[in-house]
Chains A and B, each alone.
Chain A
Amino acid sequence: MAHSEEEILAGLGEIIDEIAGVPAADVTPEKSFVDDLDIDSLSMVEIAVAAQDRFGVEIPDDQLKDLKTVKDVINYIQQ
C-alpha cells in the first residue's frame, strides 16, 4: 500500500512529536534528525519502530544509519 509524501510527513511529525518532543510543525523534509531536530540515536530507534508500525515498512539497522534527513525517511518508506 503506497503512502503519499504528505501522509508520511504528517505521520512522521506526530511520531517525532510523541517520542522526541519536537513540534510536528518543525518536522519538514529538509531537516536533519541530528543537526536540526536534536534527535539522538536511541530515539531514532524508537522512531523507526513507530514508523514501521504506522506505514508497514521495516527499516533495518544498517539502512537506518544512512537516513539523515526527514526526506530520506520519506523516500525510504515510499520505495
Chain B
Amino acid sequence: MSSYAPRTRGDGPTDVVVTGLGATTPLGGDVATTWSGLLEGRSGISPINEEWAEELPVQFAGRIAVDPSEKLPRARMRRLDRTQQLALIAAREAWEDAGAPEADPIRMGVVLSSGIGGILTILEQYDTFREKGWKRVSPFTVPMLMPNSPAAAVALEFSARAGAHSPVSACASSAEAIADAIGMIRRGRADIVIAGGTEAALHPLNIASFASMRALSTRNDDPQRASRPWDVNRDGFVMGEGAGVVVLESAEHAARRGARVYATAAGAGYSDDAYDIVAPDPDGVGQTRAIQNALTDADLKPSDIAHINAHATSTPMGDVSETVAIRQALGDSAADQVSVTSTKSMTGHLLGGAGSVESIAAILTLHEGRIPPTINIDELDPDVQVEIVRDKQRELPDSAVAALNESFGFGGHNIAVVFRRP
C-alpha cells in the first residue's frame, strides 16, 4: 500500500539538488547553445530593426535567438503571453533534461516569476481596445497579463499541484524563485520543483521607460560592445529577453530515481537595502548581508566560494558597489581568491529572467569546470575590488567547492543563491 507522507521539519534537513536545466536566451534556444556562446565570449545583442525603434535613444537589445513560434503551435501561442511562451519552452527542456521524471503531482511544485509580467499583452490589448472597442479584446487577456501567468502555465503543463508561486522582485525575481523553491523542498511542501524566471518586455514603452531613467546604454554605433560590466566607459545596461528554468529535487527523490545531479542547491540569502527605490546602497551593506545569509544557510565558509556569477549589469554605480559587497561579505583572504564574472556582457540584462539564466551558468561552471568570461572590458574600472574573469574563459580549479549567483532588483531586493559540487 502506498501512503502519502509529506516531509516535515521533524524529518530533519534535506539536501536540494539540481537535476535539470532549460533556457532560451539571446545566445541560443537551449542550454547547450547558450552555454557554448557564453564560453566563447559571444555577444547576443543586435540592432532593433523595427520601425518603432527609430524615435528611441536606444536601438538595440538582446532578442532571443530562437523565436517561440519555432517551438509552439500558433493556436497555443495566441493564448500565451510571450513571458509564458519562453517559460514553457525552457521548462520543457529542463524537464526533459531531468529525465522526464515520473513525479507525484501533489508533491510537485512550480516557482516561476518575471520582473514585469505580461506587459506585451497589456500594451497590445490596450491598442486593440482603443482602435476596435472592448469586444475585440482577447478573452485571454487576463490570464496572459497576470504576473503569475508563467507559473500557472507551467503548473498546468506538468500537472504540478503542490503549489505554484511567483515571487516578484524586479530583476532579482528569478533568483528569488530558485531561493523560494529550495525552501519549498526543505519545508517538505514538495519533492520536486520547477523553478526559474522569464521576461519578454522588448516594447518601445519599456525601452523608453528605462531610457528615461538613464539606465540603458546608448551605444547605438556598437551594440555588441555596449554591455561592458566593470569597464570604465560603461554607460548602462542592455535590455534582453529570455527564460531560465531549473528542476530542483530533494536529494532523496533524485537518488530514488537515479537522477543525474548537476549540483547541490546549497542555500540562499535574502535582504533588502531599504535605501532608495532604485539606486543600490553604495556601501553594499544589504548585498553583503544577502551573501552572508546565503553562506550561513548553505553552511559554507567564505573560502568555499570559488566563483561568483555577479549581477553586474554595466551601470556606472551598481557594478562597483557589488564588488565592495563581495569583499565585505567574504573577507579579504577569500575575496582575493574568488573569480567573478558577468555573463550579462553577452546576454544583456534579462531582467526577471536574469537570476535563473545566471544560476544555470554558475551551476554549469561548477559542473563543467569552466568559467565564462566577461567581455567588452577595454579598461577595468580601478575601483573594482575583486578578480574579474576577462576576455577568455578560465578553468575552475578541481578543488573549487561552491559558486554563487547574485541578483539585485529595483526596490533594493538582494538575493544570493549558492550551488555546491555534489
Contacts and interface: CB of A to CB of B under 8 A. Distances in A.
Contacts of A18: 74-75
Contacts of B140: 42
Interface stretch (B131-139, B320-328, B362-370): B131-139
Contact of A46 (B73, B74, B76, B139): B139
Interface string B71-91: 001111011000000000000
Contact of B74 (A21, A43, A49): A21
Contacts of A46: 138-139
A4 B355 CA distance: 57
Contacts of A45: 139
Nearest to A20: B75
B135 A21 contact: no
A74 B138 CA distance: 23
A19 B73 CA distance: 11
A22 to B, nearest CB: 8
Interface in A1-46: 17-22, 42-43, 45-46
A65 to B, nearest CB: 14
A42 B140 CA distance: 7
A58 to B, nearest CB: 9
B140 to A, nearest CB: 6
Contacts of B139: 42-43, 45-46
A49 B78 CA distance: 15
Nearest to B135: A49
Nearest to A52: B135
Contacts of B78: 19
A22 B73 CA distance: 11
B385 to A, nearest CB: 54
Nearest to A58: B135
Interface in B31-78: 73-76, 78
A19 B75 contact: yes
A47 B407 CA distance: 44
A21 B136 contact: no
A20 B140 CA distance: 12
Contacts of B74: 18, 21
Nearest to A53: B136
A64 B138 CA distance: 17
B371 to A, nearest CB: 44
A49 B136 contact: yes
A56 B135 CA distance: 14
A27 to B, nearest CB: 13
Contacts of B138: 46
Nearest to B73: A21
A43 B79 CA distance: 9
A20 B138 CA distance: 13
Nearest to B75: A21
Interface of B: 73-76, 78-79, 135-136, 138-140
Given A42-B79, A46-B139, 7 more contacts: A17-B75, A18-B74, A18-B75, A19-B75, A43-B139, A49-B135, A49-B136
6 contacts: A20-B75, A21-B73, A21-B76, A46-B139, A49-B135, A49-B136
User: Ordered nearest first, which 6 A-B pairs have the shortest CB separation?
Assistant: A21-B75, A42-B139, A45-B139, A20-B75, A21-B73, A49-B135
